[in-house]
Amino acid sequence: MAEPQQQQPQPYGFQPAVMTEQQQQQYVQQQQQYSQQQQTVQQQQSHQQQNMAFSSSQQYGMETLHSNVQQQYAVSSQPQGLGAGPGMPGVTAGLEYLAQVDQLLVQQQIELIEAFTGFETANKYVVKNSLGQQVYYAVEDTDCCTRQCCGPSRPFDIRILDGQQREVIHLSRPLRCQCCLCFCCLQQLEVTDASGTVIGLVKQDWTLLHQNFTISRPDGTKMLKIRGPICACSCRCGDIEFFVMSADGSQEVGKITKQWSGMAKEMFVDADNFGISFPIDLDVNMKATLLGALFLIDFMYFETKQNKEA
């Protein structure tokens, strides 16, 4: 008796030429399962592609947002025109920012060594705009012997630096007599730009009562006047104002204010706060010269040795 032939397995999807009813049902079920598997695979691939596209879009969106935030922060944290970018036509190089403002705040840095020992150190100042953003940094350039021997009457050089630590303004005060009776040797200050060109002069006027100054161009042309109070010293409880007047003295155009810092700080700490205002359309060289006048006023009337006062 011949042995029955073993049925060979057929490849998936192969349909025999003759099938029983049971085989046809199995074949249909296999085809349905195969179709379902194919649909499931296609759905999974589609989901993966969508997830990849979403992740890429989300990453691009986060990078764009991060870039925008950085740009906004850079704009908000650094004032426009401060030590960067091309110069403005008709404006001295390095002074572009002064053309955009009408007031500044000057804060002298507290020196702990000077506060506790009375040892005179070089003054340092921070110049800020009305929003409290630092726009310049000023540092006194004098030797130790001059500071200790000459005190507030000492000659000095002050370097005013921008945000990139570049010198944009230089102030030079020679050694001169501070007594009002010496009318031939009154105080004066020379203001130069980054190239060393003189852009303005500050000269003390001879008066018996008020503390007055004249702001002029390098050729001696009078541009502004500063009219101070009769008594200008830290012993006054309150702000001390120096009015910036027109060249003929008929109109007030600005103000330099020594701000009251409180009794304790005024008595024991040699660190003063000033505010200065001027017309926004004033020539930038005259703005820089007025800023120099502020430092001269600080040295003449408010730079005192706290150990002697105590």
Residue 85 — very low, low, confident or very high, per pLDDT cuts 50/70/90? very low
pLDDT class of 106 with cuts at 50, 70, 90: very high
Which CATH fold topology does 102-309 show?
Porin (2.40.160)
User: Among 57-71, 72-86, 88-102, 283-297, where is mean pLDDT lowest?
Assistant: 72-86
pLDDT tens string 44-80: 777 777 666 555 555 555 555 445 534 443 333 445 4
Both tokens assigned to 90: 């008709």
Distance CA 22, CA 33 (A): 17
Cα 139 to Cα 123, 142, 158, distances in angstroms: 6, 10, 6
Query: 81 pLDDT band (50/70/90 cuts)?
Result: very low
| pLDDT value, residue 209 | 77
Strands 240-246 and 252-259: antiparallel
Residue 206 has pLDDT above 50, yes or no: yes
Please indicate whether residue 206 or residue 26 has the higher confidence score (pLDDT). 206
So where are the chain's domains?
30-72, 102-309
CA 156 centroid distance within chain: 26
For the cut 90, the answer to whether the pLDDT of residue 262 exceeds it is: no
The mean per-residue pLDDT over the stretch 131-157 comes to 83
The Cα 241–Cα 232 span in angstroms is 9
CA distance linking residue 242 with residue 263, whole number of Å: 21
Phi and psi at residue 127, to the nearest 5°: -105, 125
Q: How confident is the model at residue 201 (pLDDT cuts 50, 70, 90)?
A: very high
